[in-house]
Every structure is written in structure tokens, then in C-alpha cells.
Amino acid sequence: MSDYNNTHSNNTNDDLYDDDYITYEETNDDDYIDDDVLDLELDDFDIYRQNHSTNKKSSLNKQKPKLNPFVEEALSIIKLIAVAFIIAFIFTQYIIVNAEVPTGSMKNTIMEGDRLIGFRLSYLFSKPERGDVIIFKYPDDEKQNFVKRVIGIPGDVVQIIHGKVYVNGNELDEPYLREPMNDNEEEQVFVVPEGHYFVMGDNRNDSLDSRYWKTSNYVSEKKILAKVIFRYYNQSRHKINFKLFN
């Protein structure tokens, strides 16, 4: 009897524990989300999104007031003029010299009133050579720009004897002269210093050049603005006329 009771008692307890025993996983309170709270949060997010979308659309729909067509056209012209002015300023200050010759000191190579283009970068990697036509600051008044031909380079000995020019003892061949130079029966000798140049006009009998300057008889290399590249306007013909210079 006791065996039965014990056996029955053990089976009953085992069945009870097997049926009623439930295993629970540990749950962190922080991971638990109340459905009601989640619904409220989603509702708030929907309202925020709708408001944000509405504000964005309203901001996009706000357009700047259109200007008067005449004002817009005027502004575009002003911008164009400003850009052209800036480009021209940079070009003329750093690349070219646009010069008008006011006198006839370079006749017949360059006539009075001719307009020339000089290239500022010609001597960036080289030195002026004998025969070059250059634009430079006039030593006696640097507010003025002169145009002359290089006759003597640094180290040269230039002699003017009976209307002839000699460089280092050799008579200079000058086919560009307008006419023979007057013989003033006075010999002139110039020794060109380093970094300087002796220049003369092609119209020797009517040219204020290195022979007559008071401040210095030579042009400093630092005062040379450009080498003359071409003439684009001929005053004697009153028209556009191109002539290249070597």
C-alpha cells in the first residue's frame, strides 16, 4: 500500500510539474515598450513629418520677386562691361602696351599718329637686342613713354662721327633711316653701362634720343615696358593697317 501511494504520489507530482512548469526568459524593463506609448510616438512623428513637409513645400513655393525686364537687361549689360573692363585692365597692365606715337621721330618706320602694340613679356626670358624697337619710360620725365630703336647694348662703345654711327669700331648698317644724319662735325662717344641701352630714333635729324637726354644718356632695362610687335593703325592712310616688326 505504501508502495502504491508512493508511486502514485511521485507520478502525480511529476505530471503536475511537467504540465504547470513554465520557463520565462528574463526581460529587461528598458526593452519593454508599451503599445500605447508607441502609438503616441508614431502619431507625433507623423504630425512632425506632415508639418515639416508642409513647411518645406511652402518655402519652395516662395519665389523671389521678378525684376523688371528692363532692369534685368541693364544689370546683364553692366556685368558684361565690368568683366570686359577687368580683362582689358589685366591684359594692358601685364601683357601688352597699346601706344600711339605722337611725333615723327621714328619716320619712316613709324609715322606720326601710328598706333602700336608692344608685348610686355618679350624680355621675360631674353634681353633686348640691337635693332629692336622698344617702348620705355623717358628718363627725363618718366610720366612719358618713348618709342626708339636700340643701337647700343650693355658694354658697347657707340661713336657718332661725321653723321655715321659706329658700334665697337664698326659702322652700323642702318637701312631703316629716313635720311642720312646731319654731320655736326663733333664726335660723340658713349660707353653703355651694364643693365642699360643706348637708343636713337630712325628720323635722326628730328629725334630727342640718347644723344640729348639730361638725366641719363641710357635707358635702364627696368624702364623698358615692351618690345614693339606690330602697328595696327596707319595715321597717314587713316585706316587699319598691319605692319610687323622684327
Question: Grid coordinates standing for 191?
Answer: 660707353
Query: Cα(231)–Cα(184) distance, rounded to whole angstroms?
Result: 33
Angle at 190 between CA 184 and CA 191, to 5 degrees: 165
Question: Active site includes 243?
Answer: no
Query: What sign does the CA torsion over 89, 90, 93, 98 have?
Result: negative
- Beta pairing, strands 239-244 & 224-234: antiparallel
Query: Cα(207)–Cα(103) distance, rounded to whole angstroms?
Result: 9
Catalytic-role residue among 9, 56, 58, 105: 105
Q: Are 216 and 233 in contact (CB under 8 A)?
A: no
Query: Cα(166)–Cα(175) distance, rounded to whole angstroms?
Result: 14
Q: Are 232 and 241 in contact (CB under 8 A)?
A: yes
Q: How far apart are the first and last CA of the chain?
A: 140
The closest of 115, 185, 181 to 147, measured between CA atoms, is 115
Catalytic-role residue among 56, 59, 122, 148: 148
Question: Active site includes 148?
Answer: yes
Long-range CB contacts for residues 59-66, cutoff 8 Å, separation at least 24: none
Catalytic residues: 105, 148
